Amino acid sequence: MNIHIAHGRVIDPANGLDACLDLYVSQGKVLALGQKPDGFRADRVIDATGKWVLPGLVDLCARLPAQAEQTHEALALEVRAALAGGLTTLVLTPNPEAGFDSPEKTLQMQQRLAGLTQARAYLLGAMTQGLQGDVVSKMGALAGAGCVAFSQGDQPLLDTRVLLQAMQYAKTFDYTLWLRAQDPWLSRNGVVASGAYGTRLGLTGVPVEAETIALQALFTLQRATGVSLHLCRLSSAEGLALMRAAKKEGMPVTCDVAASQVHLADVDIGYYDTHFRLDPPLRGQRDRDAIRQALVDGTVDAICSDHTLVDAQAKMRPFAQAQPGATGLELLLSLTLKWAQDARVPLPEALSRVTSQPGRLLAALSPAAAQAGELSLGSPADICIVDPEAYWFVEPSALVSQSKHTPFFGMELPGRVLITLVRGQIVWERPS
Amino acid sequence: MRNPQLNRQGALNHLLTTEGLPPRILNRLLDLAQHYLLDSAESVNVDASLSGRRVFSLFFEKSLSTRPSFETAAKRLSADVVRVQIENAVLKTGDDLVEIIRNLQAAPGDLLVLRHPQSGAPYLVTQTLAPYLHVINAGDGTHAHPTQALANVYAIRHFKNDLSNLTVAIVADVMHSREARSTIHALTSLGVAEVRVIGPLSLMPKGLEQMGVRVFTQMCDGLRDADVVIALPLQNERLPVSLRLSAQDYAEREGIKMETLAYAKSDCLLLQAELAGQTLRVGTLNWAEVGIAVRAAALSMVAEAQP
């Protein structure tokens, strides 16, 4: 199918491109920009006047329903939600139900996702068997089944020796480990950041040292093993300072932050609003400002959606007992644009944190992900077309995902995805 | 953000915490308590302010004094007290709270006295489950215990009259004590000149100074020139095992003794922790009656408010 996207503002951070150009898609790839290629006949012309034409977003942390056969429809719905949010590439985090700790399970999930033929999904394999944290998994077999890196998901790893062994084994084959930096003992039972606000609410805090100690331990073992690390969802000013130093030292490390952490702080919890029960917990305004600064100065590579499936019942509990997490797929773009507006970050630079930068990070892990998050000539035509003028209210009816809970409920956010293409096919079109 | 305890007219609709309560409301509660205390002393006329209203008494934790105190107060106000029995005191998921509140089939105007091991549980009730119900927090996790704080403040006001030039020292496990937190908030809201907290650093939550208190670790420093000393137990049931021995050690080493009390002012008022099942007298005050009176004040005041 040949598609002609006409008169749009094409913003491609990977190539430093920000111009009103026509874009031509053929055979699943970006065929041309600007001049119409000879003999090109469009099957469909999309008038993108006043709209933005962006590379499909790359999300480094999405949790999809993956456990059992009967969730096939649920899985399809979440993939649609991703596409509705302009996300065309997802990294799936392992969880205890769908551990991705056996090649069979991994292949099964790959097949199910392939059956959906839409968003591209990359799986993180379980770093330890069943994510239990005591036996290093069969990383080689898992990589053979398609896992691009290895992770503990949200599960804690108590045994430092196992961590060292996992790093040594991963380094043997140059696999990358994707890890959270949170000391399991200091964060035990913690539901808010330690600080004045958490103290007022009488809730157990996670001290900032939970993050810094974990980072120190990870960096120490990384120096010993040389393994590549990606650190997921850093949350504190002190943690980011350590990260900045590690990058300066030239260590092979990258990191991301969750989109909600770019905007919110612990005081936003208000009177025990469980929408704000997130993991890692929201920290102070100083930390939020440090996250924004670290995004600008390159300490943080990417913003992720941190998409979690939560239902009403799981949130309708006293704060500490409510399920942590929020829906995120359909908010990632808008929250990135809001950050660009609030912090006066140039648009291409802001967008690079959800397109080219996570794309490059992923491309380094898998040849299949080459050119993810960019619109170079010949790159896969994963594209989203955005109405920048459309402000939308975050409410359940505005979301495709079955997961409707978000701390941004009731807020008006900028930018709405109108059309999403994957491999040159229109896979999502917002009903008018 | 609107204070969830107040209705649109600014009247007290729920009593969830002493934090952020305007002095006019705190003083009104204390005045009402004084009125009820005099009534009980003279055992005069029957008070019918809650006649025909139901007061649900729902306690997810054991309570030796607070629950009877609330129920007596409600009965004295002619309310129908409904004591809700909880089968299993150990609640894991938090879904039980939702279920039980729904099953109450509360009607508008009913009151709920709730104690729950989770901080913030009463807020869940007021915001989502039964917004028209008047909720009184009888202790939630480590967050708040407003009526006990009111009893403390009542005693202070009774003996010291003017709060504005007082130095009040609180010896407590502030990390885990909801009574300590609520007392701090009530005292600072009422303009007490200096509120101090004394305890080991392992029991001081982060950011405590931002509640407007001065933190002391040594008893002699903390008690110096104090007008009032409130001594709460350092070892309550919410103290984690890892801190038990050290808390005991601190109590033995630094606990209030005659020689440390000598650092306080000579007319210092000492409020000791309430001892279960014992009739305490603080000076000329019957402590159990004070507890009933402040609870009666809380019940009648929230019952007056339009939801």
pLDDT tens readout for residues B10-43: 999 999 999 999 999 999 999 999 999 988 777 6
φ/ψ (deg, to 5) at A96: -60, -30
B194 and B227 Cβ atoms separated by less than 8 Å:
no
Give the end-to-end CA distance of chain B in Å, rounded to a whole number. Answer: 17
Q: What is the mean pLDDT of residues B93-102?
A: 81
Burial of A252 (0-12, 13-18, 19+ CB in 10 A): middle
Reduced to 3 states, what is the DSSP secondary structure of residue B162? coil
Please name the member of A195, A319, A322 whose beta carbon is closest to the beta carbon of B206: A195
Q: Which residues pair with A136 in a beta bridge?
A: A128
Chain A residues whose CB is inside 8 A of the B94 CB are: 317-318, 321-322
Answer whether A271 sits within 8 Å of B95, measured CB to CB: no
pLDDT tens digits along B75-88? 999 999 999 988 76
Q: Which two tokens stand for residue A370?
A: 């080459």
Per CB distance under 8 Å, which residues of B are interface residues toward A? Answer: 1, 4, 19, 93-95, 97-98, 116, 118-121, 123-124, 127-128, 140-144, 178, 181, 205-208, 210-211
Whether the ω angle into residue A358 lies within 30 degrees of 0, i.e. cis, is no
Q: What is the mean pLDDT of residues B280-304?
A: 87
Name which of A143, A141, A105, A148 is nearest A124 in CA terms.
A148
Answer whether A322 sits within 8 Å of B143, measured CB to CB: no
Q: What pLDDT is stored for residue B106 in this prediction?
A: 87
Q: Which residues pair with A10 in a beta bridge?
A: A19, A53
In this prediction, residue B279 has a pLDDT band, given cuts at 50, 70 and 90, of: very low
Q: What is the mean pLDDT of residues B122-131?
A: 90
Q: What pLDDT is stored for residue B3 in this prediction?
A: 85
Chain B residues whose CB is inside 8 A of the A197 CB are: 207
Residue B245 scores a pLDDT above 60: yes
Half-sphere CA count of A329, side-chain side, radius 13 A:
31
pLDDT tens digits along B182-222? 999 999 999 999 999 999 999 999 999 999 999 999 999 99
Please identify every stretch of chain A with a pLDDT value under 70, giving residue numbers as ranges.
67-70, 98-99, 115-117
Q: What's the CA gap between B210 and A236, in Å, rounded?
A: 20
If one counts every other C-beta atom within 10 angstroms of the C-beta of residue B73, the result is 28
Q: Which two tokens stand for residue B282?
A: 């603080």
Name which of B122, B178, B100, B104 is nearest B4 in CA terms.
B122
Q: What pLDDT is stored for residue B188 in this prediction?
A: 97
Chain A residues whose CB is inside 8 A of the B19 CB are: 200
Whether the ω angle into residue A396 lies within 30 degrees of 0, i.e. cis, is no
pLDDT tens digits along A171-203? 999 999 999 999 999 999 999 999 999 999 999
φ/ψ (deg, to 5) at A394: -80, 110
Q: Which two tokens stand for residue A159?
A: 């045994």
DSSP-derived pairing of the beta strands B228-231 and B167-171: parallel
Tokens 């007490």 map to which residue? Answer: B192
Q: Which residues of A are catalytic?
A: 306
Rg (CA), chain B: 19
In this prediction, residue B110 has a pLDDT band, given cuts at 50, 70 and 90, of: very high
A389 and A296 Cβ atoms separated by less than 8 Å:
no
Q: What pLDDT is stored for residue B43 in this prediction?
A: 67
Residue B278 scores a pLDDT above 50: no
Q: Is A321 within 8 Å of chain B by CB?
A: yes
Q: Please give the torsion angle defined by the CA atoms of residues B92, A269, A234 and A310, in that order, rounded to the nearest 10 degrees.
A: 50
Chain B residues whose CB is inside 8 A of the A201 CB are: 119-120, 143
Test the B interface: residue of A236, A271, A323 with most B CBs within 10 Å: A271
pLDDT tens digits along A217-237? 999 999 999 999 999 999 999
Please name the member of A200, A203, A317 whose beta carbon is closest to the beta carbon of B94: A317
- Distance of CA B217 to CAs A195, B200, B204, Å? 19, 5, 10
Name the minimum distance, in Å, from the CA of B178 to any CA of chain A.
8
If one counts every other C-beta atom within 10 angstroms of the C-beta of residue A134, the result is 12
Name the minimum distance, in Å, from the CA of A168 to any CA of chain B.
34
pTM: 0.93
Q: Which residues pair with B113 in a beta bridge?
A: B57, B136
Burial of A323 (0-12, 13-18, 19+ CB in 10 A): middle
Name the minimum distance, in Å, from the CA of A312 to any CA of chain B.
11
Considering all CA atoms of chain B, what is the largest pairwise distance in Å, rounded to the nearest integer?
Answer: 56
Q: What pLDDT is stored for residue A117 in this prediction?
A: 57
Q: What's the CA gap between A177 and A198, in Å, rounded?
A: 32
Q: What pLDDT is stored for residue A68 in this prediction?
A: 58
Residue B128 scores a pLDDT above 90: no
